[in-house]
Chain A
Amino acid sequence: MTNADKNRLKDKAFQVFGVFCTFIGLVVLAIFLIDIIIEGASRIDWDFLTSLPSRRASRAGIYTAWVGTLWVLVLTSIIAFPLGIAAGVYLEEYSKKTKMANFLEINIANLAGVPSIIYGLLGMEMFGRIMGLGGSLLAGALTLSLLILPIIIVTTREAIKAVPRSIRDASYALGASKWQTTWNQVLPASFGGIMTGIILSLSRAVGEAAPLIVIGALAYVPFVPTSPTDEFTVLPIQIFNWTSRPQADFLVNAAAAIIILLLITFILNGIAVYLRNKWQKRVKW
């Protein structure tokens, strides 16, 4: 065998290995989803969705968990979206290339890299103890808002960056002010990108358990929260709680709750992908 033959063989071998690696993750994912569905799908019925938690696995449901998740998502959206979009607009449209702007940028990149559990410690002290919110929905939503803020800021900036200079110039030429230009031209033009970002950030928030455990969200909440100051639980915490129990029946419950959680995550991501594709096709500068 000549050297060239050997090299060609190695080349082919790597190609096979490449296909193998590309699919191994997806195969594991598929095995996992099938396993979860086999284990949990039969447990999902109307009672499971509308029952309160219980010490008996067969009676326990996820009513408080998904209502809690819904509350957290709504409150987090109200807090994080305006802040994140405003910060993104400032950094992209207003801020000049100063040292301060550079510092802000590095700072946001750093915040994006802080582990979620550290946000939990921050939330527990700041919102739970100092602001006196304890383990309430509001404390949880504020904590998750800080967590997803960097994602919203970064995606907002990218969306705004994609709007061409000529749109702004045309608006200024018609006598519009900076804010009029931003509000009437730049934001509508980047709407699709911003929406994609905030939905992705929500799908991140919906799966978070660690920071909420730290601020004191409970695994066992025998009632459905009715106001932002109520105690709460969310789906990921319920899943964690059921997974940590030794009885096999609770693992079935966990699998069923995972199906619901994955459905929510996939739907949110699906919407984000749909919006991205739709906007990319429609807007051609």
Chain B
Amino acid sequence: MLRVVTSVYRTQYITIFPLRVQERIIEGLLWLSAAITILITAAIIWVLLSESVRFFSEVSIIDFLTDDEWTPLFAEKHFGIMPLVAGTLLTTAIAIAVALPIGLTIAVYLNEYAPARFKQTVKPLLEILATIPTVVYGFFALTVVTPFLQGIIPTLAGFNALSAGIVMGIMIIPMISSLSEDAISAVPRSLREAAYGMGSTRLQTAFGVMVPAASSGIVVSVILAISRAVGETMIVAIAAGQQPRLTANPLVPIETITTYIVQVSLGDVPHGSLEYRTIFAAGITLFIFTFALNNLSFWIKKKYQEKYD
């Protein structure tokens, strides 16, 4: 049947010449639209590289990686990226520490415990968390979470990694919960029934059988969440401060890579200056982090995805 249909269609192609031309033009245009996405990637890499190369012609890459101070906007300039990386990793770690246990518990609960109707109602509600603009979360972190935490920890500074990280964690809960939930529900029923048949409780079934069977999908969800948290900008720009420092202390102001880019963009740094190029050096560092994380997740997905069919 299919062969007949396609042959009819091929004959048409040959006999009606203008239509054929038209078809080719349309296909070409469609192809061009798809190919633009490759141009975008190329442009991102080119922009980041070309400005960074100029930056690294003035600042040695060893200083960039080993200097423990980042003060490009001060009179005494230091160009060590590590304080910004530390700030980024600190807020990310806090966010994941919040989002992973909660998100994974939600995924397990919705799959193994909750009635189907409850699941159908709760999932879209949780998705609301992911649709709220991040600048709004920043406002929340600064004006609600920080004052609240200061009531518990009096030494907490007005700008700190803790509130920003916690709020960021709340934002990425739905990312971990829904991707993990998809992974767990892709595990075939027979595995769950086998576990029940052995006399396991729901908890034992969930963490002894279902979660391990879905582990690649869960790991992918966490990696994507980390990548999201590393690149998150407005929450940290509003609530975490603008003081690059090499610390793991969540109570003091810090600065992330993304905040630094915002800080310079808001100021009046002349184009073509070394200060201007620092944001591209910071940008390429950020890009390398997220690029590596994203591709790691694709690779895991491809390599370890269990096939149960």
Chain A residues near B (Cβ < 8 Å): 7-8, 10-11, 14-15, 17-19, 21-22, 24-26, 28-29, 31-32, 35-36, 82-84, 86-87, 89-91, 94-95, 103-104, 106-111, 113-122, 124-126, 129, 146, 149-150, 153, 169, 172-173, 175-179, 203, 206-210, 213-214, 216, 219, 236, 239-240, 243-244, 251, 254-255, 258, 261-262, 265-266, 269, 273
Contact = CB atoms under 8 A, between A and B. Distances in A.
B47 to A, nearest CB: 5
Tell me if A's interface is mostly helix, strand, loop or mixed: helix
Contacts, number: 257
B133 A261 contact: yes
11 contacts: A24-B102, A29-B170, A35-B143, A86-B33, A90-B31, A110-B295, A115-B230, A169-B5, A173-B4, A177-B12, A236-B135
B179 interface: no
B31 A206 contact: no
Given A110-B295, A113-B290, A240-B234, A216 B265 contact: yes
Contacts of B105: 14, 17-18, 21
B106 A18 contact: yes
Contact of B135 (A15, A17, A240): A240
Interface in B221-256: 224, 227, 230-234, 237-238
B244 to A, nearest CB: 16
B144 to A, nearest CB: 6
A104 B106 contact: no
Contacts of A261: 133, 135-136
B124 A175 contact: no
Given A203-B131, A240-B138, A177 B41 contact: no
Given A7-B204, A177-B9, A213-B266, A115 B290 contact: yes
Given A22-B122, A118-B286, A169 B47 contact: no
A265 B131 CA distance: 7
B139 A239 contact: yes
Contact of A19 (B12, B31, B109, B131): B109
Interface string B247-291: 000000000001001100110000100000001100100110011
A177 B261 contact: no
Contacts of A29: 128-129, 132, 170
B26 interface: yes
A55 B215 CA distance: 54
B284 to A, nearest CB: 9
Nearest to B16: A177
Given A172-B6, A177-B23, A213-B262, A265 B286 contact: no
A150 B232 CA distance: 18
A208 B135 CA distance: 8
A262 B128 CA distance: 11
B73 interface: no
Contacts of B227: 113
Given A25-B126, A117-B258, A213-B265, 10 more contacts: A18-B108, A19-B109, A21-B105, A90-B33, A104-B35, A113-B294, A176-B9, A219-B266, A236-B133, A240-B238
Given A18-B108, A114-B290, A243 B34 contact: no
Given A206-B133, A207-B135, A113 B109 contact: no
B215 to A, nearest CB: 19
Contact of A104 (B37, B129, B266): B37
B8 A177 contact: no
Contacts of B135: 207, 209, 236, 239-240, 243, 261
Closest 3 CB pairs of A and B: A115-B231, A207-B133, A18-B109
Contacts of A203: 131
B201 A7 contact: yes
Among A129, A214, A219, chain B packs the most CB atoms within 10 A around the CB of A214
B201 A208 contact: no
B132 A111 contact: no
B173 interface: yes
A10 B230 CA distance: 35
Given A107-B37, A117-B258, A262-B136, A179 B201 contact: no
B261 A121 contact: yes
Contacts of A14: 105, 108-109, 113, 202-203, 206
Given A10-B201, A17-B105, A26-B126, A109 B294 contact: yes
Interface in B116-161: 122, 124-126, 128-129, 131-136, 138-140, 142-144
